[in-house]
Amino acid sequence: MSFSQTFLPSPSLTNFSVKFTVKCRSVASPVTTVNSNADGKSERSEIRLGLPSKGRMAADTLDLFKDCQLSVRHPNPRQYVADIPQLANLEVWFQRPKDIVRKLVSGDLDLGIVGLDTLSEYGQENEDLILVHDALAYGDCRLSLAIPKYGIFENINSVKELAQMPQWTAEKPLRVATGFTYLGPKFLKDNGLQHVAFSTADGALEAAPAMGIADAIVDLVSSGTTLKENNLKEIEGGVLLESQAVMVASKKSLVQRKGLLDITHEILERFEAHLRALDQFTVVANMRGNSAEEVAERILSQPSLSGLQGPTISPVFRKVGGVVTPDYYAIVICVPKKKLYKSVQQLRAIGGSGVLVSPLTYIFDEETPRWRELLSKLGL
């Protein structure tokens, strides 16, 4: 089935009329049933968390929960609902990412994990959607405008230059293939491109310019290899947004749904503690010294050895000549993974020996900053 229509992206984009050509096929979508009252509002006491149902994002999300000691119990893979035994009264619903956003808006879900690109495209700055965690450290990509390397675009290297090309008129607009029918038009309108025709279709968008059905594409890019292999290039100013997995919630649910704030707090704390520990090692070493203070002075003279708040220093007791003597001290510090070898070198330079290195699993702060930010957004 195919059709064409004039598309007005949003009230903020008035006087920017673009033509959309959509090609699609009928696809069976999962349907969930919600008990409703006479007003059409859901009646439930359970808290609902939406997780991606398929693909790399789904697998990485389950891995994150597992790493945070939250096991998603999903005994029947044909079912769309699961639970997390550690979190009482929580239902996990596996949905397409765009449906997670839509159901957060409609109130059928309370929490969700999606890519920032999906949230921005389908949330469309809805005031009820609130970011709980904006950097879950997976699903990294960018939404970018790409044009051919050849032909009339060979010397076009920026969005500004693209907008200034005299070729684009009402009769012959710039043709852009994209699945981002909200972010794409908004971005190009904001960057001065007034004559644009958008199209969206199933399949790889990178082939559209070579097939002659589009002049440019707006699509997600990870490494950029696929663009290069299809003779496409990103241009200066052409990145719409940098994306990764985020946790989002319904503001209304956070305020009104009993128990949701407590569950959100626990999930957020577990995520933060785990993610903060990912880039750190625990380093333990022995160091000869006359006192803990003297050892501390030596350690703190090295810029890579300050740890989180400072080194932990304790005496190591040895029996020398029949006398128990604390002439060594054990030090414990946390160091960033990227600075590990430099830190070990600095330890050796000031007398450290027997250096032990181990990965960290969690670093719990006194209170996670993102929790304080969330409470502030809620006015609590």
Choose between 84 and 11: higher pLDDT: 84
Residue 14 covered by a domain = no
Examine the pLDDT at 23 and tell me if it is beyond 60: no
What pLDDT sits at residue 293?
A: 92
Task: Give the strand pairing for 18-23 and 196-200.
Answer: parallel
pTM of the full predicted structure?
0.83
Q: How many whole angstroms separate alpha carbon 264 and alpha carbon 270?
A: 10
Residues 234 and 253 in one domain: no
Segment 337-350 shows an average pLDDT of 93
Q: pLDDT tens across 49-83, in order?
A: 999 999 999 999 999 999 999 999 988 888 899 99
Q: Is the pLDDT of residue 364 over 80?
A: yes
10 Å Cβ neighbour count for 33? 5
Is residue 43 pLDDT above 50, yes or no? yes
pLDDT attached to residue 327: 80
> Within this chain, do residues 151 and 267 fall inside the same structural domain, yes or no?
no
- On whether residue 94 sits in a domain, the answer given is yes
Q: Is residue 19 part of a domain?
A: no
pLDDT of residue 67: 96
Q: Report pLDDT digits (tens) over 135-187.
A: 999 999 999 999 999 999 999 999 999 999 999 999 999 999 999 999 999 99
Is 65 found in the same domain as 131? Answer: yes
Residue 376 lies in a domain: no
Are residues 128 and 209 part of one domain?
Answer: no
Residue 293 belongs to domain with CATH number: 3.30.70.120
The pLDDT assigned to 18 comes to 52
pLDDT in tens, 315-329: 988 887 778 777 889
Out of 5-9, 323-327, 334-338, the most confident range is 334-338
* 322 within some domain: yes
> Which residues lie closer than 8 Å to 277 by C-beta, 6 or more apart?
359, 360, 361, 362, 363
pLDDT of residue 111: 98
Same domain for 303 and 315?
yes
- The per-residue pLDDT for range 110-119, each reduced to its tens digit, is 999 999 999 9
Same domain, yes or no: 218 and 191: yes
- Write the CATH number for 233: 3.40.190.10
Q: Are residues 62 and 183 in the same domain?
A: no
Q: What is the mean pLDDT of the chain?
A: 88
Residues 217 and 340 in one domain: no
Banded pLDDT at 24 (limits 50, 70, 90): very low
pLDDT above 50 (res 354): yes
Q: Find the domain containing 62 and state its range.
A: 47-139+245-276
Number of domains composing the chain: 3
**130 and 219: one domain?**
no
Instruction: Please check the confidence at residue 348 and state whether its pLDDT lies above 80.
Output: yes
Q: Residue 40 — pLDDT band, cuts 50, 70, 90?
A: very low
Q: Give percent above pLDDT 90 in the chain.
A: 77
Question: Is it the case that residue 13 has pLDDT exceeding 80?
Answer: no
Please give the Cα distance from 118 to 182 (Å, whole number).
11
Q: Is residue 378 part of a domain?
A: no
**26-35, 219-228, 242-251, range with the lowest pLDDT:** 26-35
Domain edge (last residue) among 256, 276, 296: 276
Contact 267, 370 (CB under 8 A): no
- Does residue 376 have a pLDDT over 80? yes
Do 95 and 218 sit in the same domain of this protein? no
Task: Say what the pLDDT of residue 25 is.
Answer: 42
270 band by pLDDT with thresholds 50, 70 and 90? very high
Residues 111 and 259 in one domain: yes
Q: Is residue 80 part of a domain?
A: yes
Confidence (pLDDT) at 76: 85
